[in-house]
Amino acid sequence: MLNVVVYGNGNVAKMAMEAVRHSGDMSLAGVVYPKFAGQTLADGVKIVKDVDELPACDVAVLALPTRLVPDTAARLLEKGIHTTDSYDIHGDIPAIRSRLSEIAIAGGACSILSAGWDPGADSVVRALLEAMAPQGITYTNFGPGMSMGHSVAARAVPGVKDALSMTIPLGTGVHRRMVYVQLAEGHTLQDVTARIKADDYFSHDETLVFAVDNVGELRDMGHGVHMTRKGVSSGVHNQLFTFEMCCNNPALTAQVMVCAARAAARQKPGCYTMIEIPPVDFMAIDKEEAVRRLV
């Protein structure tokens, strides 16, 4: 039985707690969220300020804003606690993986980095499609739907009281960001728009920002992806593969992280992304049953 601690108290964190509760091979050891430290969940699980206040924990699910993940993971790995997260700034992943791998090896622990649905589960699909057609192009089209990472980034911008970022697919992997903001008193839409567009989350895509009275009336947790690879298999051209899904964004992100928590306990020390791990290691069933049922 894996003792799991969840960091955070947002939608993903709450879904992660449920995913742990529904996993027969895991137990929810506690929740780390300093703002509510000292309180107890309905099932008796404690909310604490620091993981050291809990009994021995095997793995931490970091349901935190992306930019808090690297340093939090580093501190836990130093203690010998496995970690998993849904870090989603794609271009930074190789450098963070390298940094955390050294810390994890020294601490005798494992980190599974960027274990959401994208990056994460979709990364595995992309890798499989490319293996099936080594020469070609893959287009990943997200949405339409709410991007949690982009929404969190927009809410952190000075002058923003609340924000929702929608991802609109334009095709061939090109996207538009539609950002709806409630302005804080004394701030203008022009200034807030400039700050949002300067953030690395938004600077690479067309971004439109709109002021609204109530972001909550627009919020929908749905999202999805349509992935296409057109390429060459065995020297034969015109191979076309597609993968498509619609999902509740927080629920799927949480489930993938909890699956990665299980896989983290099965790896040698180091930092990994999901494409580096055998798929069966994410599953609660043993390998023999997986082979019998899925192969």
The 10s digit of each residue's pLDDT in 37-65 is 999 999 999 999 999 999 889 999 999 99
**Domain coordinates in residue numbering, the chain:** 2-117+249-294, 121-138+224-247, 145-221
Averaged over 61-80, what is the pLDDT? Answer: 97
Q: Looking at the chain, list the stretches that DSSP marks H as alpha helix, in order from N- to C-terminal side.
A: 11-21, 69-78, 93-107, 121-132, 148-155, 189-198, 249-264, 287-294
- Is residue 265 pLDDT above 90, yes or no? yes
Say whether 145-221 and 2-117+249-294 share the same fold.
no
Q: What are phi and psi of 209, to 5 degrees?
A: -120, 130
The reply to whether the predicted model has a pTM over 0.75 is: yes
Helix axes 249-264, 148-155, angle to 10 degrees: 100
Token pair recorded at residue 17: 């707690």
Tell me if the domain spanning 2-117+249-294 has CATH number 3.40.50.720: yes
Assign residue 186 a region (left: φ > 0; alpha: ψ between -120 and 50; beta: otherwise). left
Pairing status of strand 47-48 against strand 26-32: parallel
Cβ atoms of residues 64 and 40 within 8 Å: no
The C-alpha angle 104, 52, 268, rounded to 5 degrees, equals 20
CATH architecture designation of domain 145-221: 2-Layer Sandwich (3.30)
Euclidean distance between CA atoms 145 and 137, whole angstroms: 24
